Chain A
Amino acid sequence: MKPAAFEYHRPENLTEATEMLASLSDAKILAGGQSLGPMLNFRYLMPENLIDLNRVPELQGIAHTEGVIRIGAMTRQYQLERDEILHKKLPIFREALRWVGHYATRNRGTIGGSLSHLDPAAELPGLCALLDAELVIRKKGSESRTVSIHDWPVGFMQPNISEDELLTEIVIRPWSVPHGFSFLEMSRRHGDFAIAGVACLVSVDSQLKIQKAAVSLIGVANGATRLRGAEAALVGSAVTENLIETAGQEIDQLEAPADAHHSGAFRKRTAKTLFFRAVHNAYQDAVARRTA
């Protein structure tokens, strides 16, 4: 399974990268290579040109400022896992990243690559949706534009980006209030694509009622999905099992495509079970942090 021939280009900085994107036709971006590599090896894709971003310094690094985290698109998954400040502010990242591929793939795979590939079962797009991330896009000769993660997918595995544009940065604003989290995923084996996964953040008030909730679902619909209806249902009332169950019914309304290996109904069923458990866990976690 050898790739078809391609011309290889390696920009040394962001300007060169955007210039190449503007001038080369039939070009694919090579980021971590963990998704693209297999597709090239299978010859599912045979681009004429490959633009390797692995030595563009402006795309690397995690910058922490007051209330904002800026992650370079070529930041490797293992770097996200190990960043202690990120872990302190957003512990859900380290938990979710355990489920992203495997140890060796995380040494190469990038957040930008994952967001550009947009596999519906991918964890990082799910976390970005959970946190209302903003994506910074650049192209040659113009100002950068910012896209909300919620406007990023325009179709099945299709991001809101044109051939001459480059995703450079992911901007996340962690919740300022103390909150609990839970990330649950079900897959056939560890590291496999998620059948369904739920990422959940919950914050409680002094009466231990949910005052803020965010729930993001992966693997079920065509991409990561925020469950706005469920979130609204969870806020304000006393937390009971019935409340969580009722909130989870939003999942029944989702379009869940089937594939050769799983039915849509099974994915939704799994998602509902995980939703129930994740909200429960996040709530317990929020209460524990509050009373600690």
Chain B
Amino acid sequence: MTTLHSVEMTINGKTYRVNIEARTTLADFIRHSCGLTGTHVGCEHGVCGACTLQVDGRAVRSCTMYAVQADGASVTTVEGLAREDGELHPVQQAFSDCNGLQCGFCTPGMQMTIASYLEENPNPSEADIRELISGNICRCTGYQGIVRAALLAAEKMREAR
């Protein structure tokens, strides 16, 4: 058994402290040590994007990061996208409005990727969105509803500003 590391991080505003092996991926830490199963694991080699969440404000793949690396970090997962009072993030609402999901497995990663990106680029073109989500694989929807959802969310977020 290798050294156990004490890892502490804030996830969706709440602090978690757990002792774990260094090889524990951030994805497994969040899902199994913290019980937040909204983040999904699809490939464990950084290709499918299902595990995408935010670490210190940037979208990252949690399957290629170790929990120890996020010690002291502020993490946001899909469970933290909606507001405290339950109001959905514009990206979430748009996904439902535009039929951007079917089985729902890629959805958290898709939403986190898009929500992060829209903070940096509030006025993307369709080509921008397709290039963005080329890092997220969906087997159900064929992407068209997801693209529409992203563009609708961008519009709503611009209006709200």
Contact = CB atoms under 8 A, between A and B. Distances in A.
Given A8-B66, A52-B69, A78-B58, A104 B135 contact: yes
Contact of B59 (A1, A3, A103): A103
A2 B41 CA distance: 12
A65 to B, nearest CB: 28
A190 interface: yes
A101 interface: yes
A6 B2 CA distance: 7
24 contacts: A1-B44, A2-B25, A5-B1, A6-B22, A6-B23, A7-B2, A7-B3, A8-B22, A30-B69, A33-B64, A33-B65, A34-B61, A34-B64, A37-B46, A38-B46, A40-B23, A41-B44, A54-B69, A98-B131, A104-B49, A104-B61, A104-B113, A105-B46, A190-B131
Interface string A5-25: 111101000000000000000
Nearest to B53: A104
Name the interface size band of chain A: 20 to 34
Interface string B114-151: 00010000000000000110110000000000000000
Contacts, number: 88
Name the interface size band of chain B: 20 to 34
Interface of A: 1-8, 10, 30, 33-34, 37-38, 40-42, 50, 52, 54, 78, 98, 101-105, 107-108, 189-191
A189 B58 contact: no
A87 B44 CA distance: 33
Given A1-B45, A8-B3, 15 more contacts: A2-B23, A4-B23, A5-B2, A5-B23, A6-B23, A7-B3, A8-B66, A30-B69, A37-B45, A38-B45, A38-B46, A101-B135, A103-B59, A108-B64, A191-B134
A25 to B, nearest CB: 15
A68 to B, nearest CB: 28
B5 interface: yes
Given A37-B63, A50-B22, A103 B45 contact: no
| 8 tightest Cβ-Cβ pairs between the two chains A and B | A102-B135, A37-B64, A8-B22, A38-B45, A107-B58, A1-B44, A190-B134, A5-B2
Given A8-B5, A104-B52, A37 B21 contact: no
Contacts of B25: 2, 41
B154 interface: no
Contacts of B46: 34, 37-38, 105
A37 B65 contact: yes
Contacts of B65: 33, 37, 108
A41 B63 contact: yes
A100 to B, nearest CB: 11
Interface string B60-81: 1101111011000000000000
Q: Tell which of A5, A101, A103, A104 has the most Cβ of chain B within 10 Å.
A: A104
